[in-house]
Copies of this chain bind each other. A is one copy, B any other.
Amino acid sequence: MSATHRRILLVSRPRGAASLDNFRLEEVPVPVVGPGQLLVRHHWLSLDPYMRGRMNDAKSYAPPQPLGEVMIGGTAGEVVVSRHPGFVAGDRVVGMGGWQEYALVDEAGAALLRRVDTSIVPLAAYLGPVGMPGVTAWYGLSMICAPKPGETVVVSAAAGAVGSIVGQLARARGCRAVGIAGGRAKCDYVQGELGFDACIDYKAAPDAAALDAALAAAAPAGIDACFENVGGRCLDAVIGRMNAFGRIALCGLIAGYDGTPVPITNPGPILRARLKVQGFIIFEHQDIWPWAASELAAGVASGRLRYRETVAEGLESAPAAFLGLLRGDNLGKQLVRLA
């Protein structure tokens, strides 16, 4: 074990787009493990769009990320020292260890640390299809979209960690799965490798009419449910093609994360088509976690549920990789390899 380790703090809040200078990398001593504590060496850091929201000093479902502290983040790693009765060195664990190479976990933190079985599912998958993104997909699809076999489900950011699972689960439930993604390569992946019935490249649809025509072709029977990660003009187009009593699970609005809110241009169909639009935050639904995770783990273990990872190497690459995630540079789950 090295005597020092590295961590990344949030040091300023973005005005508009987030930038590299909002973060600072520093090297500090590896913490000493006291009674009841344990030390985790992080192998993987998860980068996720919700982090952008925490960078703002705004009212939200969670308090803002404090300035001068280690950035919040999901991590997967290995217990290297334990003075806690519930863990031993060598345990593989997943938690919210933050943007750093090691994390000291106390009694309270240990209650939130989850020991995972890496014999059937690789450790990193617990940050992706079997972790928060997968459970998010499972919850929004199952509990809000609640599609019946034969219905059409649209998901935006379809090549991302969440969207890629939404469409595959929708297919497994007998639905027509239509993705929306940015660029030909992502759409080829979504349709060719993940098996969606169709995928729309919104970058190839320059205006509302082109996007509407693409949706009409991809969803000829209209749209019964939408799992929304993006907002903006893609959501506008979807709302215009929703069938009566359609459901929209609002999971993310990444189009508006950089400052200026992105409107819903025409809410009329929410009324006329009697839609339900519902926001959710997966951290509030711990009750369904084991249930969802076991279905997801079985899918990953059997190979039925496919996923990809975009891996940045080393903690120092995290800020740039995070900005890339917000721009949509990644395919599948964006990870940072720390060990």
Which A residues fall within an 8 A CB radius of B? Answer: 53, 59-61, 231, 244, 250-253, 256, 261-268, 270-281, 284
Q: Which residues of B contact A280 (CB under 8 A)?
A: 274
Contact for A279 among B231, B252, B264, B270, CB less than 8 A:
B270
Q: In the complex, are the beta carbons of B281 and A274 less than 8 A apart?
A: yes
Copies in the complex: 2
Contact for A284 among B250, B262, B274, B279, CB less than 8 A:
B274
Q: Which residues of B contact A60 (CB under 8 A)?
A: 272
Q: Identify 24 residue pairs between A and B in the complex whose beta-carbon atoms are under 8 Å apart, listed by A's number.
A: A231-B267, A250-B267, A250-B270, A251-B271, A252-B271, A253-B268, A253-B271, A256-B266, A261-B265, A261-B266, A261-B267, A261-B268, A263-B267, A264-B267, A270-B277, A270-B278, A274-B279, A274-B281, A274-B284, A276-B276, A276-B277, A276-B278, A277-B277, A277-B278
A234 to chain B, nearest CB (A): 13
A144 closest partner in B (C-beta): B276
A65 to chain B, nearest CB (A): 15
A260 closest partner in B (C-beta): B266
A221 to chain B, nearest CB (A): 14
A232 to chain B, nearest CB (A): 10
Q: Which residues of B contact A267 (CB under 8 A)?
A: 231, 250, 253, 256, 261-264
Q: How far is the CA of A284 from the CA of B274 in the complex (A)?
A: 10
Q: Which residues of B contact A273 (CB under 8 A)?
A: 61, 279
A128 to chain B, nearest CB (A): 22
Q: In the complex, are the beta carbons of B279 and A272 less than 8 A apart?
A: yes
Among the interface residues A250, A276, A279, which one has the most CB atoms of the partner chain B within 10 A? A279
Identify 13 new A-B residue pairs, CB closer than 8 A, beyond the known A250-B267, A274-B284: A53-B272, A59-B272, A60-B272, A61-B273, A253-B271, A256-B266, A261-B265, A270-B277, A274-B281, A275-B278, A276-B277, A276-B279, A277-B277
